Structure 1
Amino acid sequence: MVLDTAMVTLHVLTGALWVGSVVFVAGAVLPAALDGSLDAGPLETLADRLVYGSRVASVVMFLTGGHLAGTRYTFELLAESGRGHLVLAMLVLWVALAALVEVGRSRLVAGLREKRVRTPVRETITLFRAAAVVGVLLLVDGGLLAAGFAPY
């Protein structure tokens, strides 16, 4: 019981911090860079921190989510119940969020290393906005699970 509570707490907090950081970058940092308020160096540092945080969050989410899924669901429940479908949707969204952040950061940093800011930001902001939307969908999915929206 205590282990499950700790896993749920760590899972939810990590997810919220991860999604929050992606939304912040997509909604505040990159628009500021488009306006010319950020230079290449600081933006590259922020992008690196975002991707490293995303990697750590991915591992924590995988471990805690795997524990929770393994102790609460059978294969049949995952495949045949509404809650199982929400869990599987969360897994797909989790992979999509991690991939969008990785690809977005890679493309952004490639342009920043040429000491350009606005062009690489303009070319990658859609990826980061998509990542933010995926992140919000992850939180909604988690909220539906927490609220008991779908029966077992």
Structure 2
Amino acid sequence: MAIDTVMTTLHVLVGALWVGSVVFVAGAVLPAAADGTLDAAPLEAIADRLVYLSRGASVVMLLTGGHLAGTGYTVASLTGTSRGHLVLAMLALWFVFTALVEIGRSRLVDGLREKRVRAPASAATGVFRAAAVVGLLLLVDAGLLSAGIELY
């Protein structure tokens, strides 16, 4: 039982840190870069750190979430209950979130390598905002799961 508590805590903390980082980049860093406040070098460093955080968080989330799903659910309960559907929705959102962060970073860094800032920041902002929305949906999903709410 203690291992489940540790896995749940790690899962929630890493997920919140990951989503918070993406929301911060989408809401504060990229608008500042699009306004010309940030230079290419610091913006590239932020993008690199974000993608390393994202990749590391993906691994942690896969391991901890896999453990929690494997010990708390069967195939029947994943596919036949509202809590199981929330877990499957979380998995789908997690894949979308990861992909959006990777796509956004790629759009950003491609332009930064040419020492351009405003255009790549503008190009990546929409993708990062979409990732932020998906991340917030992940947190809502996690909240519903942690509250033990049955949707139907």
TM-score interval w.r.t. the shorter chain?
Answer: over 0.9
Runs ≥4 in structure 1, deviation > 6 angstroms? none
Please, which runs of 5 or more residues in structure 1 have no aligned partner?
A: none
1:15-60: CA deviation from partner (whole Å, max 9, x where unpaired): 0000000000000000111111100010000000000000000000
Partner of 2:113 in structure 1?
113
Partner Cα separation in structure 2 for residue 136 and residue 52 of structure 1: 20
Question: Aligned residues: percent identity?
Answer: 72
- After TM superposition, the structure 1 = structure 2 runs for residues 89-108 of structure 1, keeping only pairs within 5 Å, are 89-108=89-108
Q: What are the superposed Cα offsets for residues 58-115 of structure 1, whole Å, 9 maximum, x if unpaired?
A: 0000000000000000000000100000000000010111000001101110000011
Matches within 5 A, 1:1-150: 1-150=1-150
Tell me the SS of whatever aligns to 1:114: coil
TM-score (norm 2): 0.98
Q: TM-score scaled to structure 1, two decimals?
A: 0.98
- C-alpha separation between the residues in 2 aligned to 1:151 and 1:130? 25
Structure 2 portions without partners, runs of 5+: none
- How many residue pairs get aligned? The number is 152
In structure 1, what residue type is equivalent to 2:91?
L
For residues 134 and 151 of structure 1, what CA distance do their matches in structure 2 show? 20
Q: Superposition RMSD on alpha carbons, in Å?
A: 1.0
Distance in 1 (alpha carbons) for counterparts of 2:150 and 2:26:
31
Give the distance between the partners of 1:13 and 1:130, measured in 2 at CA. 21
